[in-house]
Structure 1
Amino acid sequence: MAILSTPLTRPQLVNLVLFVSIITILLNIVEGILSMFFGRQSNSVSLIIFGIGSFVEVTSSALVLWRFATESSQETSMISMNHKDKYLDKERKATLGIGCLFILLALGTFLHAIISLTQKSHPDNTMSGIIISSISTVIMLTVYFCKRYLAVQLDSSTMASEAQCSLACIKITIVLFCSSLIYILWKKGWWVDSVAALIFCTFFSKEGIEMIYWANSESFDGGCNANGVKKVQDDVNSDDESSGTEGGQIHVIGEIEVEPVVEKMRQEETRSVETKWWGNNGTDVALENGTRNFVKNDYGNYMVKSLTIAVEPRYQRN
């Protein structure tokens, strides 16, 4: 896709987020209605759950709209510190909200599947599930990659959670397709449909717990890396061990120089910064990607120009 290789400004990226979210809402409303209708017609548990999942995606996309709608009306260069704090709070709430949606869906799916297994209910016709899941897979793959691109470029936890929601829908679609196909070929596999629904629970629970944990984490910074931000000290210590300066103490010297970048975004998805550190022997060593996300680039499009740190080893080299 051409859009994935073209550098865009933050306002353009935000507008693209709004556009993708609206399209996602409209598509999932149609998908959800059709899935639940044909699911009830064919008595398919997994197709009904798939339809419910579509409405979860609708709610998730609505949270994304809530997060970015205000920012789209502001000039990026004029965003104040108060607005930055407000956006960070929105990132946290939206991420938490999407995570809770995953947990609620997992609970509903589990109860519905258990009841169906107990009553030994089975779908009367799974052809509708095959058709819907086939079309949905193609659409959701395109939507997922677009959302993932936006999550990385905007470094947004909300957008990353939304991308994970789309990825979960893709997994659900694949399971729905496989369970429907199995029942066509093997009528005794009446239980496959409900077991497939239980598999959905695993996907929903895992994603939901991770999102809630990240949103409630003290290290939450609104970024799309739920594993936390890599610290300068961690990277330098790691490089320090390989270069022989074991146990070196790190001191930041000088100031971090930043400049606003409004008209263009950097193409590097990692938003790496230029970093140098000096060992005890005075040799300059370049440390690439050493301070990824050290200075956030969420709201004012700031980029780090340079950062100097010094390593003091515990022993003297000969």
Structure 2
Amino acid sequence: MNNKQFDKIKNGKGFIAALDQSGGSTPKALAAYGVPEDSYSGEDEMFDLVHQMRTRIITSPAFNSDHILGAILFEQTMDREIEGKYTADYLADKGIVPFLKVDKGLAEKENGVQLMKPINNLDETLRRANERNIFGTKMRSVIHEPNSSGIKAVVEQQFEVGKRIIASNLIPIIEPEVNIQSEDKEKSEEILRDEIIKHLNDLSEGENVMLKLTIPTKANAYKELIEHPRVVRVVALSGGYSRAEANEKLKENDGLIASFSRALSADLNANQSEEEFNTALKNAVDSIYDASVNKK
């Protein structure tokens, strides 16, 4: 565990960039970036193009440690290089803490939720993450309705995997997303908070987690989680809100910082000049930083 990085994530001012679109979501991410699906053939070419996109973001002067605390990477990105260095090392040299998405996607909907698919090669992935100087990991489940048994299963699975990650000397980001379109979102969030607290209270000293949650319907609904001694930081996903809307909602929640993906990269395009690209990224970074740091 890198103590300097731990202190930055726990106490630093800024937000965490999510650059972890994986196989299933990559075509959508590329299309949004102005690279249509008919302009490449096969997975290899697709992943080369998305790495070029991520490289352009990460090497931009707008992507800096004054505003960005950490970045979440896709597994392939961890094994690729930027300017001759492994991506995590390049980020660390910029003062940005590297995280890795480790889940393998979502299972079918059951009991109002989608659990994670089994992560069959988790131990091997965690071993490689340590080799590549990754600080922590992220894994996502989704809650669609306030079904107590479903939400309980989501949180149990997240903490079960989280403990394996802690045992590998990494910090897990536990991400039980509540779908922003879900019926009675606020009720789901109440059940989720209570379930998470039970599991946090069972962690021993030295077992620390981060939480990545949908911005709650009721402002400061996650105050107890943010203040819990076993929680390093609570970050928020944009979840399909526009950047402006996500930022406005984020500002209402003390101590909650952003970990946006689409809301960060929405205005970036492959056809922009360097100046246009860097300006668009800077505008996004500045507004997300402001919403993370300056509260109403």
TM-score normalised over the length of structure 1: 0.21
Q: Which has the higher helix share?
A: 1
Q: Which has the higher strand share?
A: 2
| Greater C-alpha radius of gyration | 1
